[in-house]
């Protein structure tokens, strides 16, 4: 049997603990206490309770987030282990309209005070969670950062070698054309040759645009070749670029959340909300 009595305006729920075989009283604060918190208190009091649930009169389960004030308005069933108790809360005296409005204002004030007093605890707990997440992400990123640095150095070296090879080929071509013009043949013979070489270079640049949809600009071409070497080396070294980018995004998001959490409260509020409060 479960009984409910009101003492000093607070409901006192008395029930039998199954393992200890004794009755125990639980005083709840209906404005701030939830069904889940009440059930946790019951299970902490008797470690032998494996199941504790609350059902409405129609058999539907009551959410743990429901306030006890709402639960005590109607009959309900309390299930402890395999035993179900039918509970009928006593009917409270109806208050006058004016008194009811005052009580609602007091309840709202108490709720706001409760939230305000627990903001700091919530902030400390959230900050601890974010710091643990940051440590975990940094630990996962450390070996990837080291591998990325090695791959980046290798790709930079290959890209630089390719640029120097291109410069060497252009110098060789210029020297060969000069030698053929002044020492072997004359300009009349070499002029069409240089024309077709220039035309062939223009065709090569146009083919680059057709394939890449970008103009042949030296910095862009260098970056494109660097990425080609980087991804090819990453595939050989089994470096997961997508996982690395995801971890970097998660790290940036966690750092931003921690930064916003450590800001003063008035800086975190929107401008409209601050002006409304002022």
255 and 151 within one domain: yes
161 and 40 within one domain: no
Give residue 202's pLDDT. 85
CA distances to 23, 39, 43, 53 from 50, in Å: 18, 11, 8, 10
Q: How many domains does the chain have?
A: 2
Residue that has been written with the tokens 């997440």 in this structure: 133
Give residue 111's pLDDT. 62
- Which structure tokens are listed for 63? 């959410």
263 and 136 within one domain: yes
Give residue 168's pLDDT. 87
Q: Give pLDDT tens digits for 58-115.
A: 888 888 888 888 888 888 888 888 888 888 888 765 444 555 566 666 766 766 666 5
Give residue 97's pLDDT. 55
Which residues form the domain of 62?
3-87
172 and 248 within one domain: yes
Q: Percentage of the chain with pLDDT > 90?
A: 0
| Biggest CA pair distance of the chain | 118
Give residue 153's pLDDT. 85
Q: CA Rg, the chain, in Å?
A: 38
Give domain status of residue 114, yes or no. no
**10 or 271, higher pLDDT:** 10
52 and 136 within one domain: no
256 and 137 within one domain: yes
247 and 138 within one domain: yes
Give residue 277's pLDDT. 41
5's torsion region: left (phi>0), alpha (psi -120 to 50) or beta? beta
Average pLDDT score, the chain: 79
DSSP of 239-278 = --HHHHHHHHHHHHHHHHHHHHHHS-HHHHS-HHHHHHH-
What would the mean pLDDT of 122-130 be, rounded to a whole number?
78
């Amino acid at each position: 049997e479960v009984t409910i009595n009101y003492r000093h305006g607070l409901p006192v729920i008395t029930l039998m603990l199954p393992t200890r075989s004794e009755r125990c009283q639980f005083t709840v604060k209906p404005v701030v206490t939830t069904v889940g918190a009440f059930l946790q208190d019951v299970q902490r009091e008797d470690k032998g309770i494996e199941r504790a649930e609350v059902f409405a009169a129609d058999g539907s389960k009551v959410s743990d987030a429901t306030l006890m004030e709402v639960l005590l308005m109607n009959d309900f069933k309390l299930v402890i282990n395999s035993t179900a108790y039918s509970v009928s809360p006593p009917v409270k005296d109806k208050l006058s309209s004016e008194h009811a409005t005052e009580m609602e204002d007091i309840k709202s004030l108490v709720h706001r005070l409760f939230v305000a007093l627990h903001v700091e605890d919530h902030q400390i707990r959230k900050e601890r969670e974010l710091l643990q997440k940051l440590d975990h992400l940094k630990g996962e990123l450390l070996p990837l950062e080291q591998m990325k640095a090695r791959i980046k150095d290798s790709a930079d070296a290959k890209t630089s070698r390719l640029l120097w090879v291109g410069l060497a080929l252009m110098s060789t071509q210029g020297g060969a054309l000069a030698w053929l013009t002044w020492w072997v043949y004359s300009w009349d013979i070499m002029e069409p040759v240089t024309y077709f070489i220039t035309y062939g270079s223009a065709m090569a640049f146009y083919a680059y645009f057709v394939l890449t949809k970008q103009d042949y600009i030296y910095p862009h071409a260098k970056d494109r070749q660097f990425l080609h070497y980087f991804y090819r080396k990453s595939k050989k070294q089994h470096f997961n670029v997508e996982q690395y980018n995801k971890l970097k995004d998660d790290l940036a998001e966690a750092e931003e959340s921690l930064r916003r959490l450590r800001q003063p409260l008035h800086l975190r509020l929107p401008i409209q909300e601050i002006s409304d409060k002022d």
